[in-house]
Structure 1
Amino acid sequence: MADFLRLRRASARSVTRGTYALRPVRSSAMRVATWMSVCVACAAAGAAAMHGYATRVTSDSMPCAAVPSHDGLDDALARTQLALRQEAASRASVQRSADALTAEVRELQAHVLFLQAQSRSRR
């Protein structure tokens, strides 16, 4: 057992006395090649996106199909839109009154705090 501990201490001393220097995991040529391949891949992806954008089918070249008439649906849509506008207006009105009441409550709380401070100072 003592021999094992002596060998372990001796190897630890030799390891700590050595000089070490960091060296890159990959060579600089490999790092440059990796960056170049990334740049080429990005350029290829950009070129593919530009080509797809340039050759996409525009709505002008597509044939225009007549939409069948849906008078009942149009009326229902108009009624629903009107109901939504009315609801939005009523919500806005309620929000305005709630904001006004909140401001009034804050003002009354400030008055109460002032009066409480005045009554404490008189004692």
Structure 2
Amino acid sequence: MADFLRSGGRRGHGHVRGHVVTQRAYVLQPVRSLPMRIGVWAMVCIACVSAGAAAMRGYATYADSAAPPAVVPAAHDELQDALARAQLALKQEAASRASVQKSADALTVEVRRLQAQVLFLQGQSRSRR
């Protein structure tokens, strides 16, 4: 190896243990074949896709477990039923009050009309006397 580094006009220059070192253009050759490189690349892609799918499944499982339970307790159902009955009763009462108010308004109009007629008739009877 030292012979390679030495410079000078010595006769031993260029010879290493009886072999002549030539100046050639060296090209790096791939260590693995093309099918092997493609196979490794495909395996890496499959591993990435599998990791992504596992992460998505884990997130979905976490999101489902973090959600409130779908089972509603019986006491909650009874409370909802009582609330629905109270709302229905309130709507019925509001409707009955509206119909009573409408009847009262109609009767008020009728009373005013009858009062006007009574006043008219009283005026007619006074004018005849």
* TM-score tier after normalising by the smaller chain length: 0.3 to 0.5
TM-score with structure 1 length normalisation?
0.44
RCO higher in structure (CA 8 A, sep ≥6): 2
TM-score with structure 2 length normalisation?
0.42
Larger helix percent: 1
Structure showing greater Rg: 2
